[in-house]
Amino acid sequence: MITGLQLSLPICILAAVLFWTNSAGVFIPNLTEACYRCLCHVSTRCLTSHECTAGYCGPFNISRVYWIDAGKVTLPEDDSNRNHAWEDCARNYYCSKRIIEGYLEKFGKDCNGDGVTNCFDYMMINGNGGYGCTAPLNRSENGRRWLARYEECRHSLE
Ligand SMILES: *[C@@H]1O[C@H](CO)[C@@H](O)[C@H](O)[C@H]1NC(C)=O
Ligand SMILES: *[C@@H]1O[C@H](CO)[C@@H](O)[C@H](O)[C@H]1NC(C)=O
Ligand SMILES: *[C@@H]1O[C@H](CO)[C@@H](O)[C@H](O)[C@H]1NC(C)=O
């Protein structure tokens, strides 16, 4: 006979596998590989050869402040106190995805208030910064460029 207790353990494990898939155990809805690609496209057209310009590095064009807020993610075996650790992670597509993930674990929310938390909200967070993500992006030149690029990859999210 199967008791409630015997059932609950596999269910907990299943729930953990389904919902707590990232390193910090925070569920970030709709942060799919296609969404990472789209965020990357919006930032630099996902220019993987991009090193650093004006303090922004890698295909997601990440700043040091963003990296700090994201929890100082580094390449495996690297030390976050090393001077160039943040740039080296930001310039690597896989490592920089973990920076984005760390940032969204902290700031992910429904920025445009449409009732869903999806890639568009994550783009707003990257564009406006996590603390003021609700500002419409169409108010600035830069924001309008981001919106136009988002349109180019939006279809890949469905
Ligand atoms: C990275 O962001 C900075 C600041 O917004 C911008 O000037 C620069 O053009 C961006 N780099 C790329 C490769 O898009
Ligand atoms: C994820 O996105 C889909 C499609 O936009 C949406 O239906 C769903 O509610 C979103 N999940 C959350 C938790 O907002
Ligand atoms: C900007 O977007 C908001 C809502 O997304 C809209 O109400 C407003 O008319 C837009 N403004 C411009 C200048 O396009």
3-class SS letters over 27-62 = CCCCCCHHHHHHHHHHHHCCCCCCCEECCEECCCCE
Q: Is 113 in the pocket of ligand 3 (CB under 6 A)?
A: no
What pLDDT does residue 13 have? Answer: 40
Which residue of 114, 117, 121 sits with most ligand 2 atoms within 8 Å of its CB, as the best mutation to test the pocket?
117
What pLDDT does residue 158 have? Answer: 84
pLDDT at 150 over 70: yes
Q: Is 53 in the pocket of ligand 1 (CB under 6 A)?
A: yes
Ligand 2 atom with minimal separation from the 110 CA: 14
What pLDDT does residue 26 have? Answer: 81
pLDDT at 7 over 70: no
Sheet holding 52-53, edge to edge: 52-53, 56-57, 62-63
Q: Which residues pair with 57 in a beta bridge?
A: 52, 62
pLDDT at 8 over 70: no
Predicted confidence (pLDDT) per residue in 9-50, tens digit: 444 344 444 444 455 668 899 999 999 999 999 999 999 999
Q: Regarding the domain delimited by 30-157, which CATH topology (the fold level of the hierarchy) does it fall under?
A: Lysozyme (1.10.530)
Amino acid at 76: P
Contacts of 22 (CB under 8 A, 6+ apart): 28, 101, 105
Domain boundaries, the chain: 30-157
What pLDDT does residue 113 have? Answer: 97
Predicted confidence (pLDDT) per residue in 102-142, tens digit: 999 999 999 999 999 999 999 999 999 999 999 999 999 99
